[in-house]
Structures are given as structure tokens and as C-alpha cells.
Chains A and B, each alone.
Chain A
Amino acid sequence: MIRRVSLLALVGTVAALAVVASAVARPAHVASAQAASALSCKSGVSIGMLAPITGDAASIGGDQLHWAEFYFNQWNKVKGHVKIHLVQGDTQLDPSKASTVAQSFASNGKIVGVIGPAGSDEVQAVAPILRKAGLAFASGSATRVSLTNGAWKGYFFRDVPNDGVQGPTAANYMFTNLGVKSGTSVMVVDDQESYSTGLADIVGQNLTGKGVHVDRESISQKDTDFSSLVAKVTSATKVVYLPFQLASQAQLFAQQLQAQGKTAVAFGSDGTFDSSKFTVNGSYISFFAPDVTTLPADAKVVASFHKAFPGATSPFGAPNYVLAQMYSNAVTTACKDGKITRAELRKDFAKVSLKSSILGTPIRFTANGDLAAAKFHIFKIVNGKYQTVQ
């Protein structure tokens, strides 16, 4: 009897909830108090960071986090600078977790800007949330072309060039300099993630259009053995294109190519640009800046980075140092009147222009948030070192 009554009460509550929900679920629901009221700069501001700090992409995300932390630590030591506190958010390269963390940033009144997220899928997932909250978000590694088609103008920025620049550059170089002609063949291997398949598609289509036979293969980011795939490389294959996110996989692939005596040359994309990991002689890589760890102007910075964060680094790390630098400049500009709002920071951030950066090039944004004057260089590995060839 009591059970029946409580069951009825349960059903009744559900019905009542349904009524309430239908009232609440109207889209015209007033947004909660997220409209940023001006924050005082005196006690410092917070910048959020979205990165895959744990999980399969931890080697990339942890590195991005450390470079940004490193910059802000140096910045905060100088007297007179507005103190900037970095709030980290672990997305595990998963768009649904990224949107939960982005929501926490949006609801955190102290956060005035966001660095990240790292993956292009994540950018699409968090963009509506961050846009609604009025936050600028700048990625150091999301390279899908469609992200800067204007939908999030003024909100989304990136200081790395997109695939639309890298793909054709790589394909053209292969065609003109590496003996890839109509009738020869190229193997394109992707790692089943969207960064990789995007680039692989662009390069593959470009080469197919020129009459080259393209052999599309895949590996997984968790693989460590490619000897089975390398066995499929024929003597007619001139180049094996490896748009991998992990430089260590490119190294392994190239090593196994050489071990099996194949004549094909390995060609990596910007994810594989890591002179501590990818060092097989004779390979090529495309990247949008010179190697940070070899530029003499950066030697001091790199040395103190390694002192603070021992261990190797990845190519997607240094762009986040630059983003931290740009945010610091923008915060200084916005804090001139002692107060800062998210809208103000957005506008100032879009206007930041660095004459020089550790990436070796000046940095500024186009109207749509892309990196201005982006250009890809081609490097060849000679004696374990990266030499610019284009």
C-alpha cells in the first residue's frame, strides 16, 4: 500500500517536472548572469587553457600547457605587470569533455580569455559556449580550414596556419622537387584523427588531380609497429606522406622504411616537426616556422624552459608561448584604465601585433582570426639536423 502510494507520488512528480520543464525549456530563457561586468585588474586576471593534458594526446597537451605556464611565470615575475593566472582545463581531446570544461570557464567570472582548445573538433564543440560567454579563444594547433570561415569572427583566433596552406605547399614540393610525376605513386598514411585525415585528403586530392597514383592507408595513434604497412611500399612509390600528430610515429615509420631497404622518402607534416624525435636522414617536413630549439635568438628561452620543465618538447608547444605572449600584451592594453572586460580583451587581442616572436616570424591576425602572412617552409633532415630547403 505504501509502495503503491510512493509509486504514484513518483509518477506525479515526473508529470509536474514535465510541466515545469516545458515552461523552462523555451529558448527565450534569459541567460544567466554571465555578461561580464568589469573586473578590476589590481588583483590580477585569469586566462583559461583548454588542452589534452591527460589521455592519448597527453604528450601534446602537457607540452602546450607547460609552454604557456612558462611564459606566464616569467611575465608575473616582472614588477608592474598585471598578474596573469593560468587556469588549466583537461579536455582529453574529447569534444564533449571540452564543452563541459569550456562551460566552467564561461561561468567563471575571473576568466577573461581562453587559450586552446587543441583539436579542430573541440573548437567546433566549444565555440557556441565561449561565444555566448563573450570569451576570446585562441588555438595553437587547430588547423581545419573551415574554422576561420567567419562564423566566429572576433572570437576565434589561431597562430598556426591552416591545412589549406600546408597541404598544397607539401603537394607542390613533392611534385616539383621529389620526382613525383604523373604515373608515379605516392603513399599517404593518416592516423585516423581529423587533423591527419584532413591534411591527407587535401594532399591526396591535389596529387590525384596531377595524375599521380595515390595509395591511402591508415594507422592508429596507438600503433608502434608499421613494418606490415611498410612492406606494402613498392619501388614505384617515390614519397610516403605522413601527416601524423605524433613525431615519434613518423620517426618509427621512417626508420622501418630504411630498415626494409625501401627507396621511398618520408615526408612529414607540421605535427612531426620535432628535432628531438624525428631525425631520419633524407626525410622532409613542412612547418610554418624555423625550429625553435635551433634558432640562436631563442637559445636562452629554450634553455630556461628545459630547466623548468625537463624532458622533450613537441612542435605544438611553442605557438602556445606566443599566444600567452599575445594575451599578456592584450591584457596590458585593456588594463590601462584599471578595469578589464571580456569584450575589451577580445578587441585588444585581435589587434596585437608582435614584431618578433620565438617562432622567428612576426605574428598578427587577419580579420577572420587566421595567422597573417602564413607561409610554410620545407625542411630536409641532414645529419640529424633540420635544413630549410624552401
Chain B
Amino acid sequence: MDGGDREIPNVPARPDEAQVPKVGVDSWVATHEGRVHRNRLVAELERVPRPAFYLAFGVAAALLPALTSNDYIIRVGFDTLLYMLLALGLNIVVGYAGLLDLGYVAFYGFGAYGYAMLASPKFGIHWDTLAIIPVVVVATALLGFIVALPSRRLVGDYLAIITLFFGQLFVTVYQNGNRISILGQTRGYDMTGGPNGIPGVDNWNLGGLKIASLQGYFYAALIVFLLCLGVVYLVDQSRTGRAWKSLREDPLAAELMGMPVNRLKLVAFAFGAAIAGLTGTLFAALNTAVFSADFDVPTLIIVYAMLILGGAGSLGGVILGAIVVNVSLEVLRTPGHATWIFYVVVLGTLIARLRPWRWLAIVLGGTIGLGFVAHAIAAAAWPRGTHGSASIGGWAGSFLDHWQLHPANPNFIGNIAFVILVFVILGVTLLRGWVRHLALIPTLYLASFAWENRLVIEPSVTRLILIGVILIVLMNARPQGLLGTSRVEIV
């Protein structure tokens, strides 16, 4: 059959669907979404074959360097593509095979270091990239295979911990790899450059075709990503893909059905590792240097966040999650952009979720009124409370100047406002009904105050706070991720 894997059956909803208690936690509940009556647009979109979407993405991405000459945007695009590749590889291990791999970035680092060792002045070797890539990919896949060997005896979180150990082992060994000495000898061997890394890595040289510009690397990354995406899609549709999914859903049942469970786990690990190794070569080539700090737990956390946010098990989710997280992280660096995004998101959420309309009007009107009143009181009674200026310019900035308080020394009071704000927001989520709507008014004003006077002054710290909040809120609202499908896990 063409179209997607799922068919939406034409089962009419029960008239009392909303009142029927959910019967336990099981497959009936899990397939609830399949029975929900969807509007036609969404239903039609779901019949479009996935590769069409990936194609559309590929074309859109390819147009990016043509549309902008801003190298920063292209660099962010390149970084996003690398993250997409990593999330793609992790998707095979976590999303398809259901194995928790906490040492995944070690494969990334292994690939990057491997490329660096074979194409830099470090050991004087300068191989052609067409020769390096197969070597690195195969070596990383072998490494993934070896790391997965204990998975035969270990389940779930025990496997996770072994992979975590392996990841930390990798970082420690490579960080100190410039003084590896056999016990007793005083001279160390310099294998990995230690904390100074391996500098001077060559650019990609595909048999004469040198890639040296940012645009070139962007296209290279895009092509590599699309190729890997195609391969993973094909594997997903194949027997191995289906076997992985059955392994993920219930390993015991899969084994009883005759799936070679151990072999599947090993292959999943190896496949994911191979993709990570390939990504590492791109990373090393563009950055012209590798350091072990890049392949530690913080990077792992970001890749996981992207994958799960987008929806584990969904290829489209990989693309979306990487774009959402990385672009947010970059855009939120600039205070001006961050302020706009903050206010737009807050207003947007209010408009989308606050019903009926009169309450929206009351809340917005009340907040604006409260602001002007507070500003007037402060201007009269506490002149230092209005000395500072808003974080953005233009008409919005002058509105904020007159609406919000900006004390001259905002540090201390901003901190207090922020802490109070956190508790107030948590409290408001506990309220219900009209009390909650009314409580929103001072909350919104306080939020704006904390933003203007403390959060936006330290944009680098605030963006991480915001990412944390986004993760919490999104995972609570949609635990299966943006494009994922809800599953029930049998624990």
C-alpha cells in the first residue's frame, strides 16, 4: 500500500467518549490517537509519503546559502545538520531498538579523532578523504559492536550505565592521551594531543575536490545527511527495521517470536555508531582541530533533548527537534531577539489557550492597566524605580519604558522577583477557574518585570534557563515528542 504505515480506521467515536474512564494503561489507550477524528487537512498530510517531506526539507535547506550571504546563518545551519545526523544515529539505537545509550558521543569523538589522526600533521599522514571515511566508519561501527557486546547480559539501565562508563572512559583517555605511559616508564606517548587536541586538521579532499569554504561544508553536510536519511528510511521499512521496533516494544515477546534479539542489538549499536563516526569527520574537518571536551555529557544531553523533543522513532522528528533546539539556543543569545520571542510566546500562549474571549480581554487589559498604575505610583513615590531603560528599542521599547518598572540597580530586586516568580507560576498552575484567570494578571506583570530587570541582562544564562523550561513544558504537554507517536511501555 502506498501512503504511511498507519491506516486510520473508520470507527465512529462513542457518544460518551469523554466520560468513559480510561481502562488501565494498555494498548487500547495507546492507540487512542488512531481513533480520534481528525480534520481533513491533517488526515491528508498523513497520507503523503514521508520521503516527499524529506525531499522538501532537502530542497529548502539547499536554498539557504543562496538566500543569505550571512556566514553566521550558514554556520548555524551546518551545526544543526551535524546535530541532525547525530540525532539520526541515536534514533536508531534509542528510537528503533529501544536501548538507552549514554555514551553515544564517544563514537562521535572517535570518528572525529580518527579523521584528525589520519589527516593532519600529527602523525604526518594525509590521506584522501575518500579513503578515510570508509576506514573511520567501519572502525567506529566495530567499536559500537564491541561496546554493545555486554548488552547480551545486561538489560535496560544496566546497559545504559556501561555505555556511560565507556563514554567517560573515552573522554578521560583522550583528554590525557598525551602522556600515556606504560607503568614504570617516565616518558609518555602522545597519541591524542591531550588537552591541546589535534590542531591543523586537513579539509575534506574527495579525490581532488577540496571543500574549504563554509558553504561547501554546508552542502557536504546536507548531502551526507540526506544520504543517511535515505538509508535509514530504507532500513526502517525493511525487515530489520520492523524487527527493531518489535524489540523495542517487548524484547521478550520478540525473542519468543524468533527474532535474533542479540544480533539486532549489536547491529543497532553498530549502525548508530557508524553514523556518529561519519559525522565526526565533518566536524573535525570544519573546525580544523579536535578537543576531547566536545564529546562529553553536555553534548550528549543536547542530542538527547533534540531527539526526544522531536519524537524518538520518527525521522521527521529528528529534523524538527534538531532545528527547534539548536536554532532556539542560537537565537536566544541576542537580548533583543530573546525579548521579542519571550513576549510573543507569552502572548501567543494566552491567545491560544485562554477561553472564552472575554477572559482574554480581561487578563490583557488588567495587566496593561496594572502596569501603567504601578509605573505611575513608582514614578511618584520611588524615582529610582524607573531610571533604567527597556531592553529593546523602537515603539515596543518605549511602550515598555512607560509600562514596566526599571530600577537603576536592578540586580538584587531582579533576583528576588525571579525567585518569587517561579513560586507564583507554580502556584497559579494549581488554581482553577476564574481565580486562576485573575491571578494571571499580577503574574504576567511580575514575569515581565523579572525578564526586563534580570533575565535579559544575562542572556547567556537565561537562554539555558529557557531551554530547561521549554523541555519541561513540552515533555509534560506532549510526552511522545512533537512528531512522535504515543506508545505504552511494558516495564
A: residues with CB less than 8 A from B are: 1-3, 6-7, 9-11, 13-14, 17-18, 20-22, 24-27, 29, 32-34, 53-55, 87-90, 92-96, 99-101, 103-104, 106-108, 121, 124-125, 128, 192-194, 196-198, 216, 218, 307-310
Residues on the A chain within 8 Å of B150, using CB:
none
Residues on the A chain within 8 Å of B461, using CB:
53-54
Shortest CB distance B22–A (Å): 35
CB of B72 within 8 A of CB of A103, answer yes
**A310-B287 contact, Cβ under 8 Å, with A20-B62, A29-B216, A32-B69:** no
Identify which of A18, A90, A308 contacts B333 (C-beta below 8 A). A90
**A-B contact list, 16 entries, CB within 8 Å:** A2-B3, A6-B51, A9-B55, A13-B226, A22-B209, A24-B65, A25-B210, A25-B216, A29-B213, A55-B298, A90-B333, A103-B71, A107-B70, A121-B197, A193-B195, A310-B411
CB of A95 within 8 A of CB of B71, answer no
**A24-B219 contact, Cβ under 8 Å, with A106-B71, A121-B291:** yes
Smallest CB gap from A99: residue in B: B287
Q: Does B58 contact A (CB under 8 A)?
A: yes
CB of A197 within 8 A of CB of B289, answer no
CB of A94 within 8 A of CB of B58, answer no
Q: Does B407 contact A (CB under 8 A)?
A: no
A17 to B230, CA, bound (A): 15
Q: When A and B form their complex, what is the total count of cross-chain residue pairs whose Cβ atoms lie within 8 Å? A: 158
CB of B55 within 8 A of CB of A25, answer no
CB of A197 within 8 A of CB of B194, answer yes
A34 to B216, CA, bound (A): 18
Closest A-B pairs by Cβ, 7 of them: A25-B216, A21-B219, A90-B460, A32-B69, A6-B51, A53-B460, A107-B72
Residues on the A chain within 8 Å of B175, using CB:
192
Shortest CB distance B293–A (Å): 6
Additional A-B contact list (11), CB under 8 Å, known A26-B216, A194-B196: A3-B51, A14-B223, A21-B219, A32-B70, A87-B334, A94-B291, A95-B294, A100-B330, A107-B71, A124-B289, A128-B288
Residues on the A chain within 8 Å of B212, using CB:
25, 27
Smallest CB gap from B411: residue in A: A310
CB of A192 within 8 A of CB of B195, answer yes
A14 to B194, CA, bound (A): 38
A99 to B290, CA, bound (A): 13
Residues on the B chain within 8 Å of A198, using CB:
196
Residues on the A chain within 8 Å of B230, using CB:
7, 10-11, 14
**A10-B58 contact, Cβ under 8 Å, with A24-B215, A25-B212:** yes
CB of A89 within 8 A of CB of B71, answer no
CB of A96 within 8 A of CB of B72, answer no
A103 to B79, CA, bound (A): 12
Smallest CB gap from A88: residue in B: B460
A221 to B294, CA, bound (A): 16
Shortest CB distance B413–A (Å): 13
Q: Does B232 contact A (CB under 8 A)?
A: no
Q: Does B75 contact A (CB under 8 A)?
A: yes
Residues on the A chain within 8 Å of B464, using CB:
54
Shortest CB distance A124–B (Å): 6
CB of B51 within 8 A of CB of A13, answer no
Identify which of B55, B213, B287, B293 contacts A6 (C-beta below 8 A). B55
Interface centre among A22, A32, A33, A55, by most chain B C-beta atoms within 10 angstroms, is A32
B173-195 vs A, Cβ < 8 Å mask (1 yes, 0 no)? 00110110000000000000011
Q: Does B54 contact A (CB under 8 A)?
A: yes
Smallest CB gap from B225: residue in A: A14
Identify which of A9, A125, A196 contacts B289 (C-beta below 8 A). A125
Q: Does B397 contact A (CB under 8 A)?
A: no
CB of A95 within 8 A of CB of B291, answer yes
Q: Does B471 contact A (CB under 8 A)?
A: no
A89 to B72, CA, bound (A): 13
Residues on the A chain within 8 Å of B214, using CB:
103
**A21-B72 contact, Cβ under 8 Å, with A14-B227, A194-B196:** no
Q: Does B52 contact A (CB under 8 A)?
A: yes
Residues on the A chain within 8 Å of B283, using CB:
96
CB of B287 within 8 A of CB of A13, answer no
Interface centre among A7, A21, A108, A310, by most chain B C-beta atoms within 10 angstroms, is A21
CB of B460 within 8 A of CB of A95, answer no
**A108-B72 contact, Cβ under 8 Å, with A10-B230, A17-B222, A20-B62:** yes
Identify which of B55, B69, B194, B222 contacts A33 (C-beta below 8 A). B69
CB of A14 within 8 A of CB of B58, answer yes
CB of B72 within 8 A of CB of A3, answer no
Residues on the A chain within 8 Å of B210, using CB:
25-27
A89 to B223, CA, bound (A): 30
A94 to B294, CA, bound (A): 7
**A100-B75 contact, Cβ under 8 Å, with A22-B209, A24-B213:** yes
CB of A121 within 8 A of CB of B289, answer yes
CB of A88 within 8 A of CB of B2, answer no
Shortest CB distance B31–A (Å): 24
